Amino acid sequence: MTDQVSPPSTGPQLEPRVQGELQARGSPGGSSLPVPLPAAAGAIIPVSPPPERPRRWRGRLGLLILLLGGIGGGAYWWFHAAPALPPGIVFSNGRLEADEIDIATKFAGRIAQILADEGDMVRAGQVVARIDTRDLEAQLAQAEAQIAGARDAIAESQAVLAQQGSQVKLAAQELQRARTLVRQDFETREMLDQRQSQFDVAVALYHATQARIATATASMEAAIHSANLIRVNIADDTLVAPKDGPIQYRLANIGEVLAVGGKVFTMLDVTYVYMDVFLPTGAAGKVKLGDEARILLDASPDQPIPARVTFIASQNQFTPKMVETRSERDKLMFRVRVRIDPKLLRAHEAEVRSGLPGLAYIRVDRNVAWPAFLQYGGGR
């Protein structure tokens, strides 16, 4: 027989009217949610946690952070933004570039000496490397020996020629006397023929010696030209700096065998430093060759560098050549080159660098004065 367990008592029963009113108050809108009744003495009443209040301080803190960040960004822009430009001055960004010059070999050969390194400032004509020229020096010695031999042959032939000249003169005199004696019948015709033969032989030998001298002279001149060519080749194997400027790269080491045109150094031409910028159609159309410009490098924003426009591209970039709408034409970009004054570069050749980013400002209206931050030496 199974015992039946009755559910625990929930306390005294309330009147139906009171219980309905409590249910109505506990459920707005008339929903019939059960309302807990008072528990009996000693019963445990479950307590639900109080509703969590919205953490308004978090939202306020985030708003404050955003406000401070906006103020900081505005202040940074205010202090670092470029001053406003007057009409008549256009600008764009670019990188400072210098013409690179490759110092390379004219002939194949082995590097014997390296006399410069990266970062060295070299002068025009300064020897920076030498190629092994022992084979050329041997050829030069051979050519010089040929020159000496030809000179000796010429000297010997000239001595023989002088002797033969005397013989020709004597043969001519004897021939003349023989003709006189034959006319006077004091000499035979046979003697006249002998004197004529002697004269002809002397003259022939004289001309032959002259020919030998001419041949020896030609051989000597050929040997001289050969020797001069070898000297030029030896000089070309002595690599020199073509201009003043710093060595940017060293591309070979001692003992390496390079082919024809093998690069040993790359140097910068400090007399040709420029910046290429791209301007839209409206600005590029106002730029003319020779217009004044100023370059401000990011590394030296307070030191404007004077320059001039030396090149304006005739073809646009970045967009197709043929566009019909005005908005598309405004997107056409033209390359413009501004070059720094070579005299100024010579005065600061040790500071010349390539690849430095910056801005180039071009004055398209000559009646407009440069702003204070772009003035160089206080000039317009």
Token pair for 106: 């004219």
Each residue's pLDDT expressed in tens, for the chain with a length of 380 residues:
444 444 444 444 444 544 544 444 444 444 444 444 444 444 444 444 555 555 554 555 555 565 555 554 444 443 344 557 888 899 999 999 988 999 999 999 999 999 999 989 999 999 999 999 999 999 999 999 999 999 999 998 888 888 888 888 988 888 888 888 878 887 788 888 888 888 889 899 999 999 999 999 999 999 999 999 999 999 999 999 999 888 999 999 999 999 999 999 999 888 889 999 999 888 888 999 999 999 998 888 888 889 999 999 988 876 555 555 555 556 678 999 999 988 888 777 666 678 889 999 999 998 889 988 888 764 44
Angular region, 345: left φ>0, alpha ψ -120 to 50, beta rest: alpha
pTM over 0.75: no
Same domain flag for 156 and 107: no
Same domain flag for 293 and 324: yes
Amino acid (one-letter) located at 264 = V
Number of domains in the chain: 3
> Is position 119 within any domain?
yes
> Is position 64 within any domain?
no
Q: What is the pLDDT of residue 1?
A: 41
Same domain flag for 94 and 107: no
- Asked if residues 316 and 281 have their Cβ atoms less than 8 Å apart, the reply is yes
Range of the structural domain that residue 199 is part of: 134-234
Closest CA relative to residue 116, chosen from 267, 222, 297: 267
Token pair for 216: 């020896």
Q: What is the pLDDT of residue 186?
A: 79
**What is d(CA 380, CA 377) in angstroms, rounded to the nearest whole number?**
9
Q: What is the pLDDT of residue 42?
A: 42
List of residues 6+ apart from 158 with CB closer than 8 A:
213
Closest CA relative to residue 105, chosen from 133, 137, 141: 133
Same domain flag for 247 and 122: yes
**What is d(CA 291, CA 283) in angstroms, rounded to the nearest whole number?**
13
Closest CA relative to residue 116, chosen from 240, 211, 292: 240
Closest CA relative to residue 291, chosen from 310, 273, 309: 309
Q: What is the pLDDT of residue 112?
A: 95
Same domain flag for 195 and 183: yes
> Is position 34 within any domain?
no
Same domain flag for 250 and 278: no
Same domain flag for 208 and 357: no
Same domain flag for 108 and 148: no
List of residues 6+ apart from 242 with CB closer than 8 A:
101, 103, 124
Same domain flag for 275 and 314: yes
The CATH number of whichever domain residue 369 belongs to comes to: 2.40.30.170
Same domain flag for 129 and 139: no
